[in-house]
């Protein structure tokens, strides 16, 4: 067998494996339960802050996830559903009515260190990127809520 034939067989196996992988899909729960950030004013009475949270954080930190078409393709579907599940567990802006001091501090730090929204996400969703002014507004809100308690 030539190396060319081996490559072709391996290539065929890889393609078949991808097809089979499509049969196994994660659940993608909670589509559009909350419309237009209806849940956000509870934590962020300032309309601008609520809109920013919805735009930059909502896909992973609310029940209002807009699943992109590539969230239907294995293995991306598992990575994306995992992000949303872990994101919601940490912070769910749809259901939270009060944010704890810990959560507010973490929100501030995640934005200050540029960890949130994650880079891999803003690569596909450039509209979710925060401008320096927007990041400053969110950090100010988080600190303001902290000291308001
Ligand atoms: C692509 C999905 C995604 C987006 C968008 C996103 N997050 Fe996250 N976030 C996650 C995941 C996943 C975790 C859990 C990380 C872990 O378990 O280590 C997380 C964790 C957090 C945490 C917990 C502390 C930490 O740093 O792990 C905070 C606070 C947070 N995110 C805030 C935000 C804020 C604020 C935004 C918007 C500016 C945002 N996130 C946008 C996916 C996302």
pLDDT band at 43 (very low <50, low <70, confident <90, very high): confident
Pocket test for ligand 1, best of 28, 53, 57, 109 (most atoms within 8 A of CB): 57
Number of compact structural domains in the chain:
1
Tokens of 29: 């729960």
Contact 116 CB / ligand 1 (< 6 Å): yes
Q: Which domain holds residue 32?
A: 26-148
Instruction: Identify whether 37 is part of a domain.
Output: yes
Tokens of 60: 């992973």
Nearest CA to ligand 1 atom 3: 60
Instruction: Identify whether 13 is part of a domain.
Output: no
Say what the pLDDT of residue 134 is: 97
Instruction: Identify whether 20 is part of a domain.
Output: no
DSSP assigned state of 29: -
For residues 31 and 35, what is the distance between their CA atoms, to the nearest angstrom?
10
Based on its alpha-carbon atoms, the radius of gyration of the chain, rounded to whole angstroms, reads 20
Instruction: Identify whether 53 is part of a domain.
Output: yes
C-alpha 106 – ligand 1 centre gap (Å): 9
Instruction: Identify whether 5 is part of a domain.
Output: no
List C-alpha distances in Å: 4 to 7, 10, 18.
5, 10, 21
Instruction: Identify whether 36 is part of a domain.
Output: yes
Tell me: the pLDDT tens digits for 119-146? 999 999 999 999 999 999 999 999 998 8
pTM for this one?
Answer: 0.83
Angle, to 10 degrees, between the axis of helix 47-61 and the axis of helix 76-90? 130
Tell me: the pLDDT tens digits for 26-38? 776 654 334 444 5
Instruction: Identify whether 38 is part of a domain.
Output: yes
């Amino acid at each position: 067998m030539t190396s060319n034939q081996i490559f072709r067989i391996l290539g065929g196996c890889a393609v078949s494996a991808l097809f089979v992988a499509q049969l196994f899909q994660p659940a993608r729960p909670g589509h559009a339960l909350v419309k237009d950030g209806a849940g956000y004013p509870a934590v962020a009475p300032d309309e601008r802050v609520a809109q920013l949270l919805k735009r930059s954080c909502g896909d992973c930190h609310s029940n209002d996830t807009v699943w992109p078409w590539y969230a239907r393709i294995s293995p991306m579907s598992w990575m994306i559903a995992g992000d949303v599940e872990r994101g919601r567990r940490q912070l769910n802006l749809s259901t939270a009515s009060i944010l704890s001091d810990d959560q507010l501090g973490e929100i501030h730090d995640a934005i200050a260190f540029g960890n949130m929204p994650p880079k891999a996400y803003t690569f596909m969703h450039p509209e979710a990127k925060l401008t320096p002014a927007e990041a400053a507004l969110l950090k100010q809100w988080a600190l303001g809520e902290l000291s308001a308690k």
